[in-house]
Chain A
C-alpha cells in the first residue's frame, strides 16, 4: 500500500511541472501586468519596478529562474502583499483554509450521510420529502445568496451569531460560513447516500440478514452502511477539493483570511508568483486528497484491494 502511495505521489511531479509551465506562460499572455493600475505610474517608476522584480528579463530566463527557485522550495516574492513571500503568505492562510474547509467537510459528510440514511429509511414518506426539499434548496440556491440571507437572519435580526470575521476562531464565528460552504455538499452527499442505501437495503445479503431475524439498527449499521458508503467515498475527494478551494466566495463575504481569497486576489492583480504558488499548493492538495480517497476506497471495497 505504501509503495502504491509513493508511486502515485512521484507520478505527480511531471504533471506538476507541466501545469506550472502552462500556468507560467498563460499568465504572461494575459493582458495587463502587476503594476497597471488606475493611477498610471511614470515610465521610470514602472521601469524601476520591472527591474526590481526581474520582469524585464526575457521570459524564458524568468521561467528558468522560477524553476530554479522552485527546486529549492522557494515560491518567490508576492508583488502585491509586499511584506510577505508567497510561501509565508500560504503558510499564514493555510490553517484558516484547513479549519474552515475541514469543518465544512465534516458537516457535509456527517450531515449528508445522516440525511441520506433518513431519506432511504423513510423513502417516499413525509420526512423523505422534507429532507429532499431542504437538500435541493441547498443545492440550487447559490452561496452568494444564502450567505447574506443567513447573515441578515441570524446576525442582524436575531443577533445570535457574528455576521463575519474570524474572531477567536470559535464555532460561533465559524457557524455561518461553515453552513454556507457545506450546504451544497450536504445535498450532494445525501442524494448519493440515499440512492446507494436504498439499493443496499434491497440487496440479497440484507434480505438474508433480515430473514435471520437480525434487528433493523444492527442491519443498517453493521451490514448496509459500509457497502452503501462506497459511492459516497468516491465523492469525498472532489468534495474536499471543492471545500478547500471553493471557499473564495465565503471567505470574501464573511471577510475571512484563507488561500482561496489569495488566489483570486492574485489572479486579478497579476501577482504571478502568488498565482503559481496557490496553483502548486492546490495541485498537491488535490493529489493527496485523491490518494487518501483511493486508499479509503480500497479499505471499504475488497474488490478494489484485490485488483
Chain B
C-alpha cells in the first residue's frame, strides 16, 4: 500500500512538474481508444498501440505523412539483382534516447528476439518474409543465427529474404521491425520496458504511463531530427467510449479523436464542418460462410446470399458514414496491384434483378417458399455490427431466408469462428502491409484466418505461384486471377471497405488522410 501511494504521489508530482516544465510547450492531446498493452514493440497487436509505438521507436523505414514508407533509421539501402538481399546503411547520427548509438546489432538482436518462440511475440509472423524466420518461430530451426539478418559492421545491416517480397520495405515500418536497445534489455531484463528504464530511438520518448488513463511522451532530444518537431509531446488518452471522446473533443480537451459514433457524422458535418475525416481505409468488412457444412458447401447458396446484400445502402444509410460497397476482396488502391479492381460479374445489376437471380439460385439449391433456408448469423458486440446484421437479415427476408441473429462478445465470437462453430458470421480484416496478398491469404486453404474453410486448389496454386514470382506484373495478374476465382465462387461475402473515422481540430495541420490511418506526430503542427 505504501508503494501504491508513493507511486501515485510520484505520478501526481511528475504530472505537475511536466505541467510546469512544459509551460509554453506544445502538447498534442490524442484520443487513442484502448489501453496500450505494452511499450515493448514486440508485445503489441493493435492500431492504438501502433500510434504510441511508432512515435517512440523508429525502424529502418518509417512512414511519411501519407503513410508511405520512407527511410527512417536507415540512410539508404541496396537490393541484390535476385531481389533477395537488402543491405541497409544506418544513419551515423541514429542514437538511443540515452545517447548510445543505434547499431546494426540492435536490429539483429531485435529480430532474433521477435522470432524466438520462447518470447511468444503475437505478431512475429509479420516478418516471415525474412529467411528462416518462419522455421525459427515454429521451432523447426533452433539456431537463431540461421535467421537471415546480419550485422556487417556497426552501421551496415544485411537482410536476406525467403523469396522476393515487394512489400518488404513497407513491412519494415511495422513495430515488429523496430530495433531494441540491446544494452538496456540485457541489463534490465523484462524490466527494460518500465517507464524509468525504457530507452527509445524515435522522435519521442515515454515519460509517464497510467493504465486506464494515458501514456505521456516528450520530445527525444537525441533523435536525429528533433529540431524539426513542432509538437513537444503527446498525451495518448485511453478512452473506449467514442461518444464520451466526442464530448471531450467538443470541450476542447482533445485535439484529435480517432473514432466517433457513426450516427454523429451528420451532426459533425453540420456543426463542425471539415473536422470529421472519413477516409477510405485499407480494410474489408465481410461475412464468412461455413463452407464445410451444408447448405453453405453449395456455391449457389453462397452466391444467393451474397447477391441478396444491398451493399449500396449499408455505407450511406445503415452506417451513415458512406463506406464503399465491396464486390471484390482487395480494397481499392493497394500497392503492387495495378489495373482495374476485381468485382463479381453481377455487381452492376439493379438490386431487384439481383434478388430475382438469388431466388432462382436458392430454388436450384432446393430452397423456396416450401422449404425456407434457416440461417444463424453471428456477430460480435458492437453497435455497427448489430446494425449491419439487422439490415442484412431484412435484406435476406425476401429471398425466403429466415435469419436468427446471435450476438456474443469478441473473445467468444472469434474462438467459435476458429473452431468452425458457426453458419454465417461477421469478420473483418485491416491490412498489415500494403499488398493484396495480405487479404487474399485469408482465403487460402489451411490458413488460420480462413474461418469458413473454403478451399480451392487452383486458388492456392495461383497464390503460391504469385509468391514465387519476381515479375511484378505477372504477380499482380496471378493474384487478380485468384481474386476473381474466389469471388465467382463466393468464398465469403465481402460487404464494404472500411473507412477511418477521425475528428481533427482546425488547430492541427499536416494531417493527411491515408489508407492506413497512420498519422505520425512528427508531421503534425498545432497552432495555439
A residues adjacent to B (C-beta < 8 A): 30-45, 48-49, 51-52, 80-84, 89-96, 148, 151-152, 155-156, 159, 162-166, 168-169, 251-258, 261-262, 265, 268-270
- Contact assessment for B211 and A93 in the assembled complex, using a CB-CB cutoff below 8 Å: yes
Q: Which of A81, A151, A268 contacts B38 (CB 8 A)?
A: A81
- Contact assessment for B43 and A82 in the assembled complex, using a CB-CB cutoff below 8 Å: yes
Q: Do A81 and B247 contact each other (CB < 8 Å), given the known contacts A33-B411, A257-B213?
A: no
The interface residues of chain A lying within 8 Å CB-to-CB of B124 are 45
Q: Give 8 A-B contacts (CB < 8 Å), ordered by A residue.
A: A32-B410, A32-B411, A40-B417, A51-B120, A52-B120, A83-B37, A91-B7, A164-B244
> In the complex, A256→B193 CA distance in Å?
23
- Contact assessment for B411 and A162 in the assembled complex, using a CB-CB cutoff below 8 Å: no
- Contact assessment for A256 and B213 in the assembled complex, using a CB-CB cutoff below 8 Å: yes
The interface residues of chain B lying within 8 Å CB-to-CB of A30 are 412
- Contact assessment for B194 and A83 in the assembled complex, using a CB-CB cutoff below 8 Å: yes
> Does B248 count as interface, using CB distance less than 8 angstroms?
yes
The interface residues of chain B lying within 8 Å CB-to-CB of A148 are 243-244, 247
> In the complex, A288→B4 CA distance in Å?
19
List the 10 closest pairs (A to B, CB-CB), nearest first: A32-B411, A257-B212, A95-B8, A91-B4, A52-B120, A257-B213, A48-B120, A32-B415, A255-B239, A163-B251
> Does B270 count as interface, using CB distance less than 8 angstroms?
no
**Nearest-CB residue, chain A, relative to B12:** A169
> Does B337 count as interface, using CB distance less than 8 angstroms?
no
Q: Which of B8, B37, B45 contacts A92 (CB 8 A)?
A: B8
- Min CB gap B407→A, angstroms: 14
The interface residues of chain B lying within 8 Å CB-to-CB of A270 are 411
The interface residues of chain A lying within 8 Å CB-to-CB of B413 are 32
> Does B313 count as interface, using CB distance less than 8 angstroms?
no
- List 7 other contacts, CB 8 Å, given A91-B1, A254-B244: A31-B411, A42-B125, A44-B117, A48-B120, A92-B8, A164-B253, A265-B35
> Does B267 count as interface, using CB distance less than 8 angstroms?
no
- Contact assessment for A166 and B411 in the assembled complex, using a CB-CB cutoff below 8 Å: no
B residues adjacent to A (C-beta < 8 A): 1, 3-5, 7-8, 12, 15-16, 19, 35-40, 43, 45, 117-122, 124-125, 137-139, 193-194, 209-214, 237-241, 243-245, 247-248, 250-251, 253, 380, 408-418, 427-429, 448-449, 451
- Contact assessment for A32 and B409 in the assembled complex, using a CB-CB cutoff below 8 Å: yes
- Contact assessment for B244 and A253 in the assembled complex, using a CB-CB cutoff below 8 Å: yes
Q: Do A31 and B251 contact each other (CB < 8 Å), given the known contacts A253-B241, A257-B210?
A: no
**Nearest-CB residue, chain A, relative to B213:** A257
> In the complex, A49→B37 CA distance in Å?
15
Q: Which of B253, B408, B451 contacts A163 (CB 8 A)?
A: B253
Q: Which of A49, A152, A262 contacts B122 (CB 8 A)?
A: A49
- Min CB gap A164→B, angstroms: 5
> In the complex, A270→B40 CA distance in Å?
21
Q: Which of B35, B139, B241, B415 contacts A44 (CB 8 A)?
A: B139
The interface residues of chain B lying within 8 Å CB-to-CB of A37 are 45, 410-411, 414
**By CB atoms of chain B within 10 A, which of A92, A159, A256 has the most?**
A92
The interface residues of chain B lying within 8 Å CB-to-CB of A257 are 210-213, 238
- Min CB gap A49→B, angstroms: 4
The interface residues of chain A lying within 8 Å CB-to-CB of B212 are 93, 96, 251, 256-258, 261-262, 265
Q: Which of A155, A168, A252 contacts B251 (CB 8 A)?
A: A155
The interface residues of chain A lying within 8 Å CB-to-CB of B40 are 82-83
Q: Do A48 and B117 contact each other (CB < 8 Å), given the known contacts A92-B210, A148-B247?
A: yes
- Contact assessment for B38 and A36 in the assembled complex, using a CB-CB cutoff below 8 Å: no
Q: Which of A93, A163, A252, A268 contacts B248 (CB 8 A)?
A: A163
- Contact assessment for B251 and A42 in the assembled complex, using a CB-CB cutoff below 8 Å: no
> In the complex, A165→B35 CA distance in Å?
14
Q: Which of A89, A163, A269 contacts B211 (CB 8 A)?
A: A89
